[in-house]
Amino acid sequence: MTTPPRAKTVPHVFELHGRKFVDNYFWLQDKSDPEVIAYLEAENAYSKAALNHTEALQETLFQEMRGRIKEDDTSVPQKHGDYFYYSRMEAGKQYRVFCRKQGSLDAPEQVLVDENKLAEGLEYCRVFAFEPSPDHRLLAYSVDTTGARVFNLYVMDMQTGEQLVGPILGTAEVAWMSDNKTLFYSVFDESHRPYQLRRLVIGGDSDTLIYHEVDEAFYVELRRTRSGAYVLMTLGSMTTTEVHYLAADEPMGAFRIAHPRQHKMEYYLEHHGERFLIRTNDEAENFKLMEAPVSDPSKANWRTLIPHRPDVLIESVDAFRKHVVLRERKGGLPQIRIAPPDAISDAHFVTFPEPVYTFRLDTNPEFESDTLRFIYSSLVTPESTIDYGLSDGKWDVKKQQEIPSGYDASQYISERLHATAPDGTQVPISLVYRKGLNRDGSAPTLLYGYGSYGYSMEASFDSKRLSLLDRGFAFAIAHIRGGSELGRAWYEQGRLMYKKNSFTDFIASAEHLIREKYTTSEKLAIMGASAGGLLVTAVTIMRPELFKAVVAQVPFANVISAMIDPNLPLVVIEYEQWGNPADLQAFEYMLSYSPYDNIKAEAYPHMYVTAGLNDLQVLYWDPAKWVAKIRAHKTDDHHVLLVTNMGAGHGGASGRFDYLHEYAKIYAFLIDALGVG
């Protein structure tokens, strides 16, 4: 296919706030229509043909990326009870094998779940929940077989391998009670909202509804505390939480509420001894740490341990027998604060070896542990599994990600820059490139961003990215408002009626890279996924001449089309993120930036747009409609490509090699679009 598909136009008219709208591509929203599937397949065929001249490059990129993976690899075993749990990958296989050893790492291996076998005959497969019972006899695990992030739940006897339960369809999270036979689990409704909590008694044929959340803005989260003493059900919206707790040794007991939901107040519980530790933003934008007795954790009994600090965001709290660990964020960087549980103010901080870095805490299931495990990396340092001594501060590298084809970190430079937004705000930019890059504007550059939901974009290592850096690319992350890099206010300034700050911050970041002669508009590409896809499509509409190429992965581009239909997945929950279009002021503001609704006849950059047919976060038709309308209006001869994974959802392919093939195609597109030799 040498010419792009032309989606037919079937005017669909609707009115809102006295205004008439015509959506010519509304018909693409009917997934059951064979013509829709045929159109998506035609788009896939066109994209393949349009990139046919890069197939050799795609294969080269894939082999480079694969060469950086240790194919026969094992995660660092995590001690849990008398067992060591880990997963491993086998050479040539796409999926994980979940295993354990009893008592010692020298003990025989017991294979528990082989994802490769689960994936046979499936286009997508991913194990989500993986929870051993407290006595480590039973295993509750769940599997996503479509990419829709809806899970089938199973319970197996790990001693015999017998499947005792399952599949239970449409589940979310799980938590065991101390009797080793009672399992709580949450389930999704048709809008992909975890809305019910159920109690299952293994071997007792008892599956009982325990809680049903009727407010469509709230969802159910479930977990067992690290101490093992309580199961917590957190009911949350985008701005409000309400926590219910149940002693884990009372499987037939009733959940009790800590504090009734209070609009725009969040609080979260963690258990330690005779108290709950409470992280809350009650009169504390960046959160503060409180405590209350487990006998009565109502708000009247909350006592301050760490007061609110305007320059430090408390992101999470983890309790161990002899230590309390806080993940905090200060000056745009995450930090780990460690304190004895009876003297929270007597804290020390983990010292990190680089000025710009990130980490993520591992599961750390053992309450009695004196070791904290986290995964450390930076833009130039591969992921390292660290066991950190909570008492002695010892930094023990248990494993660093191997790059079999070779990697020399000293050949790459990482920087932190700042761009000035139109309102004077300083926007951090993380930048990495290979030594020898000339600051003459000639370097092809990929600028990445997200800026939504308070999620911070971390400056982490990505071995795939080396294929760009080694070809002379610079890679930059714009830490724009809408994330939480600089605290909760950074998030608040990039959502609802301030959402456009995310877009102008990103544009300012692009302009800064050009002004500082890292690149030019002819060499600048941008990339974002999901809400980051909204970001890159919005700035493309605002400043199409500023960018040469755009990669929009599962972009949320149809803001109005999606948000006016409360029956679509997650829409009601999202009102507190984007606004409710039933409100005139919110509607007008959302309409002013909604990418799909602001397309006009103009020259646009090259575009590579992805979708997942099974996606429930951003429905496949959102990127499909965006591409159809852009193609009908653009005045240039640039490529606009739509690539739909017909067997996956929001995150793309599940198999590790399939995933690399997806990125090899994206990188080939970028290299070709920017004219990199």
Which amino acid does the sequence have at 417?
A: L
Supply the DSSP symbol for 567. T
Mapping DSSP to helix (H, G, I), strand (E, B) and coil, where does residue 267 land? strand
Report the alpha-carbon distance of residue 358 to residue 411 in Å, rounded. Answer: 20
For tokens 């660990």, name the residue.
325
For residue 108, say if its preceding peptide bond is cis, omega within 30 degrees of 0.
Answer: no
Supply the DSSP symbol for 595. G
What are phi and psi for residue 638, nearest 5 degrees? -75, 155
- Cβ(562)–Cβ(622) below 8 Å: yes
Residue 361's H or E segment, with its range, is: strand 358-361
Report the alpha-carbon distance of residue 405 to residue 307 in Å, rounded. Answer: 49
Report the alpha-carbon distance of residue 139 to residue 119 in Å, rounded. Answer: 19
Report the alpha-carbon distance of residue 505 to residue 425 in Å, rounded. Answer: 8
Report the alpha-carbon distance of residue 136 to residue 491 in Å, rounded. Answer: 41
HSE-up (13 A, CA, CB side) for residue 399: 14
Among 377, 509, 530, 561, the one annotated catalytic? 530
Report the alpha-carbon distance of residue 650 to residue 648 in Å, rounded. Answer: 7
For tokens 């008492």, name the residue.
391
Q: Is 530 assigned a catalytic role?
A: yes
- Cβ(171)–Cβ(187) below 8 Å: yes
What are phi and psi for residue 89, nearest 5 degrees? -115, 140
Tell me the Cα Rg of the chain. 25
Among 144, 318, 597, 615, the one annotated catalytic? 615
- Cβ(594)–Cβ(560) below 8 Å: yes
What is the longest distance spanned by two Cα atoms in the chain? 72
Report the alpha-carbon distance of residue 97 to residue 280 in Å, rounded. Answer: 39
- Cβ(74)–Cβ(90) below 8 Å: no
Report the alpha-carbon distance of residue 117 to residue 163 in Å, rounded. Answer: 15
CA 219 to chain CA centroid, Å, is: 17
Among 192, 271, 323, 650, the one annotated catalytic? 650
99-105-108 Cα angle (round to 5): 60
CA 521 to chain CA centroid, Å, is: 29
What are phi and psi for residue 229, nearest 5 degrees? -85, -25
Which amino acid does the sequence have at 452?
A: S
Q: Is 282 assigned a catalytic role?
A: no
Q: Is 244 assigned a catalytic role?
A: no
The residues that are catalytic are 530, 615, 650
